[in-house]
Amino acid sequence: MTGFQNKLLEIKRMTDISKFTVAQVKSLLSQISSPDDDRLLILAKDPRKGVQMALKAKEKAFIREKAKIEAHQAKLVYENDLWQNQSFKYIAGIDEVGRGPLAGPVVTAAVILPQDCAAFIGINDSKQLSHQQRVSYAEIIKENALAYSIAIGSAQLIDQVNIYQATRQMMVKAVANLAIQPDYLLLDAMQIESSIPQRSIIKGDQKSLSIAAASIIAKVYRDQIMDQYALEFPYYDFQHNKGYGTQNHLAGLNEFGYSPIHRRSFEPVKSMVKKLNNT
């Protein structure tokens, strides 16, 4: 087919678009992936309100997608700087979940992402995502990450060494358990004992894609643990509070006392333990 014939077919295709029903226009828009598609120019001239509303919705979708891609690129600044150095091929993002609750473990995760991170667009700090988004992204991370690992610090360990040291120990363990030895560590406002070069980033789960991925893996895993504990210890509403000191949780403590998974070094459990030991 000659270039002239191709041009005629293109003109005919554009002409046909102007004859589409509104439903057909909406179907067509769902297939258009670029804001530079010439068919959008044809549809922009269509006076029908339904078409213009569909175009406006598509324009907003393009804006949201652009913002998502820009946010994705912004979260790769630390990783890209390191990848440009040939010495740093495998970068592990490390984060924790569960430092504040009155019950349950602290969970840490380490994640090594590939340099092609297109599969992870939309990933954010786990606290900024809904439960369903976290679960969905956790599966994407597990399927596409070069390596990931999880380490769990029990309530007993937390009571023995304090929450800060328990968190650090579990971060070290998560790194050691990775199937691939990382060349560099990115941590969310923490530093650990390691011979591997590392960088502590304030609000790292918002600034680094690798750390954000680790926060999601840790959060989803810990939530699953607390959901199981909710069945074993039904008095504290763990299925909703995940061990944090909500009103229902505190009410359960007052009525039924503390459980084996409560942190005895955390108030008000600490005072309850002390009172029981003095009686």
Closest CA to 176 of 94, 104, 253, 234: 94
How are beta strands 198-201 and 184-188 bridged, if at all? Answer: parallel
Is position 188 annotated in a ligand binding site? yes
d(CA 154, CA 47): 64
In angstroms, how far is CA 35 from the centroid of its own chain?
Answer: 28
d(CA 128, CA 86): 33
CB of 98 closer than 8 Å to CB of 222? yes
How are beta strands 91-97 and 184-188 bridged, if at all? Answer: parallel
Residue 278, helix vs strand vs coil = coil
Is position 96 annotated in a ligand binding site? yes
> Annotated binding site, which residues?
95-96, 188
> Annotated binding site for a divalent metal cation, which residues?
95-96, 188
